[in-house]
Structure 1
Amino acid sequence: MFLINKFLINGKKLPGLNPFDRGLAFGDGVFRSIKIENGIPRFWQYHYEILSHDAKSIHITVPTSRILLNDIKRLFTEKGNYVAKFILTRGVSERGYQFKANIEPTRILLKNKFIPIEAKLYREGVNLQVCKNKLSENTMISGIKHLNRLENVLAKLEIRPENFDGIQLDKDNNINECISSTIIIRESNKILIPLQGRSGVSGVTKKIIIDKLSTLGYVIQIKKISLDLLMRSDEVVITNSIMGALPVRKVKNKIWKKFQLANDINQIFNDTP
């Protein structure tokens, strides 16, 4: 029962989730992970925009921003840094894939401790591993942060202790994303972001980078990125909305020593509410 103060279900402190919820049975829902600083959600406008897009893409009714912010206010009452996870499922139904037209969505808010990344990793960079398992393709749900994350779970099992994250490739051996982060590369003043037309998740920090990094003189391009292109690049960075931007030091036998891009991205993040 000690966990009851660490989650809300539909805005209430309930003892548990209805086992007939479609999020459990089918992964029928979407989610967002959000850093909370002294009760305030970082990048809320971006998170809500993407959550709304993802939910509407699979025909789930989205609660208003005010309802979700009220949930955050109720659960995150202490000062300090935390990680919130909003889960939005299609709701409760009986057995079978079909559901009623008037089904009510279930919203779940989880409260987790924020565990900061070691400061030296922002200075010295991290190592990445290339995952063996390739991402499957489904243009219907590509880019959506849906609840079925088995590919990420299984990919995480591959990662050796010395590596921070894993690079996930598509069936054509192009880079799509990392297991828990967006990956971008720099060639001179060009910022290259992987094309994700058939698989992967399109996250908040990717959207912020596309919207704002050009103000620092960079040219943003979204394109297919091979491993060879990554290995020839001037810098590599991984990023998500919890940790910010981390420079990449090593992939396979390639070592990078330039880390300015991560600093520039983190400055953009710091200036974004």
Structure 2
Amino acid sequence: MPEQHAEERYAHLLELLSRQQFASIEDIRRATGASAPTIRRDLALLEERGLIKRARGGASLATTASTLDEAFELRRRRNAREKGAIALAAADLVKPRASLLLNDGSSILALAEELISQGDPLWVATSGLNIGERLASAAGIEVIVIGGALRASSFGTSGPLATSAIAQLTVDTTFLGCDGIDLELGVRSNSLLDAEIAAAMARQGRRVVVLADSSKVGQRAVAGTVRWSDVDVLITNGLDARWRESLRRADVEVIEA
């Protein structure tokens, strides 16, 4: 992949580290397209900001509370315009008084902002603490935050407490962000824990809608989340004819924002 601009590289790097405990120089090179010297300079700068901790051969995400918001904000800025358009298209699918399940992530946070702007009464359960906090500020939206083990780097809950709670719910629509989508394997995640939560949510939604900006297209990631046979709608910002035809055969509606 071509080398990216600095802010885009930082966002990719931080998103990678939010999904795995350690990333090697090679992992980061594949995620950003940057050369090893550029990566080392980026790591030095991000360590100075307190966002990461360098280690031999790579880095891990710093978990001090004072830097979490900044780290998430950098990830949120990645493809922000595309995510905003996708979130707007997703919000258009939501009717007043609908019940929703939302996992965590920057695309889902963008959807939460659009739902607040609409001002409709809704019932929402989410595994994202920052998403729950944001939605709770809106009159008319009843918010349930799903408990479980907290992953500080992503503000998401996971584990058996979370999946047990999700299994008790049945909602109109499940909205899922992801780390990648693959034509053969379906919706993908860089974390087994995130994949487990997304799969549990997909089982409880009468309709399953996946949000994936163009950077996620063709990315297999490490863990399977949901196969295309369990997805009703994909909202993205650009697919080629091969993708559109394959998803049509799988009965997945594609909305290109």
- Structure number with the bigger relative contact order (C-alpha 8 A, sep ≥ 6) is 1
TM over 0.5, shorter chain: no
Structure showing greater radius of gyration is 1
Structure showing the higher helix proportion among its residues: 2
TM-score of the superposition, structure 1-length normalised?
0.25
